[in-house]
A and B are shown apart, each in its own frame.
Chain A
Amino acid sequence: MSKGRFISSLRKALTEVSYGAALHGQVSAVLKTRMYIEHMFILMILGDMLGFPILPPYYSLRLLPYAVPNVKAWKHRFYRERDFTDVIYG
Chain B
Amino acid sequence: MKKPEDIEHILEVIVDIASDFLKNEIGVEVQKTNQKSECSSYFRLKPYTALMSISGSFSMNVTFSFDTALIEQVYRVYCHELEIEDNERLEHIDETASDMINIVIGNSTSKLAHDGTVVQISVPIVINEASSLSIRDVNFLTTTLYTEFGDMMITAMPNSCDYGEEGERE
A pairs with B: no
